[in-house]
Amino acid sequence: MREAVKSGRTVEEALTMALRELGVSREAVRVEVLSEPTRGVFGLFGVKPAVVRVVVEEGPVSRATTLVKSILGAMGLSGEVTAKEDGEAITVDIAGENLGPLIGRRGETLNALQYLVGLAVNRGKEEKKRVVIDIGGYRRKRDQTLRELAIKLADKVKERGRSIVLEPMSPHERRIIHMTLRGRDDIYTFSKGEEPFRKIVISPRR
C-alpha cells in the first residue's frame, strides 16, 4: 500500500502535494484529514498547517502508475507520472526531461510500453480497460498527425479508385484511423495481418 502524509496551508494544498508525490489523480486515492489548519492568535501566532494522509487505492490506475514508475527506474530515467481513469480507458501521462528513449522511432517504444502496461493492468480481469500512455504530449501530436494522414489517404483512394495499405500500426493507432474515417460513405477501412504487423487497408466503395 502506497501512501503519503503532507502538510500545507490548506487541506487542498496538502492534498495536491501528496498527489504529486504519488503520481496519481484524486480519483485513485483515499484522503484522511489528520489536522485542519488553524490561524492562531491575530492570524500570526500558533498557526498550524493542514495535514492529510493520502492512500492509493489498489486498482487499475495505481497498478498502471506503479508499473510505469518501475520501468522508468529500470531504464535509468526519471519523470513525473500521473494517471486517471475515464470511462473505459486509463490515461497515463509522463512528464520530464530526456524521455526520448522511451518514445522511440515513430513511437514504437512507447507503443510497446503501452501494450505491456495494458496487459499487466488487465491480467485476470473480466472487464478490460484500454490503457493510453503519453509522454510530453507526443501521443496527442501523433494522433493528430494520423487523423490528417487518414483523411489525405482516403481522399487519394477515392480519387484513384484503388486501395491503399498502410504500414503496420499499434492497436491504438489503428483505432485512430478507423474512428477518423468511419463516417465516410465513399471509402471503408479494415485491418489485416497478425500482431505486431497488423495493417489498415483503406478501400473505395464500389
Same domain assignment for residues 157 and 95: no
Q: Quick one: 120 and 164 in the same domain?
A: no
**Whether residue 42 is found in the same domain as residue 109:** no
Q: Is this prediction's pTM over 0.95?
A: no
The enclosing domain of 119 has a CATH number of 3.30.300.20
Contact yes or no for 202/161 (Cβ under 8 A): no
Confidence of residue 39 (pLDDT cuts 50, 70, 90): confident
74 and 120 together in one domain: yes
Q: Pick from 136, 154, 182: which residue ends a domain?
A: 136
Task: Please indicate, yes or no, whether residues 22 and 77 belong to a single structural domain of this protein.
Answer: no
84 and 152 part of one domain: no
**Host domain of residue 75:** 60-136
Let me know whether 52 and 64 are in one domain.
Answer: no
What whole-number distance in Å separates Cα of residue 23 and Cα of residue 16? 10
Strands 3-8 and 50-56, sheet pairing: antiparallel
- Residue 185 near residue 136 (C-beta atoms within 8 A): no
My answer on whether 127 and 148 are in the same domain is no
Q: What is the pLDDT of residues 175-196, one digit of tens each?
A: 999 999 999 999 999 999 998 8
Indicate whether 22 and 64 sit together in one domain. no
Domain ends where: 136, 166, 186?
136
pLDDT value of residue 85: 87
Mean per-residue pLDDT of the chain? 89
Are residues 147 and 127 located together in one domain of the fold? Answer: no
Per-range mean pLDDT, top range of 12-16, 82-86, 105-109: 12-16
**What's the number of domains the chain is made of?**
3
Winning range, highest mean pLDDT, from 22-26, 46-50, 200-204: 200-204
> In this predicted structure, what is the pLDDT of residue 41?
57
Q: Tell me which H or E stretch contains 187.
A: strand 187-192
Q: In terms of domains, do 105 and 49 share one?
A: no
CATH number, position 18:
3.30.30
Note whether 78 and 40 are same-domain residues: no
